[in-house]
Amino acid sequence: MKNQRLVDLDSVQNRLFLMMSDLTLIELNLLTSEVVSTVRLREVEGAEDIGNKAVAFVLQKDLSMLAVSTGTAVFLFDYETDLRYVNTI
């Protein structure tokens, strides 16, 4: 957590996603204010080569996907049920 900062945040329904610069994604429940999950994206199957730092984050609500840019590539994840790596652009 050293030298980590908030890159961006977005919400859908009662879910709030916080993307940290060290590629940690935190999900909070907006109704209970509780942390639902904390995921290090490089530990998600298929995304092991994601790098070390997030520079941008966007939530695509109509697709139930989130995108994380590392400066060299954009990594796409499905967030509908469990966080799942989908593709790299």
Task: Indicate the pLDDT class of residue 4, thresholds 50, 70 and 90.
Answer: confident
For the chain, the domain total comes to 1
pLDDT reported for residue 84: 96
User: What's the CATH code of the domain at 51?
Assistant: 2.40.10
Q: Which residues form the domain of 51?
A: 6-88
Residue 1 maps to a domain: no
pLDDT in tens, 47-58: 999 999 999 999
Residue 57 maps to a domain: yes
pLDDT in tens, 58-81: 999 999 999 999 989 999 999 998
Tokens of 37: 């999950």
- Burial string for 23-57 (b: 16+ CB within 10 Å, else e) reads bbbbbbeeeeeeeeeebebeebeebeebbebbeeb
Tokens of 19: 């993307």
Helix (H) or strand (E) holding 28: strand 24-29
How far is Cα 89 from Cα 85, in angstroms, rounded to an integer? Answer: 12
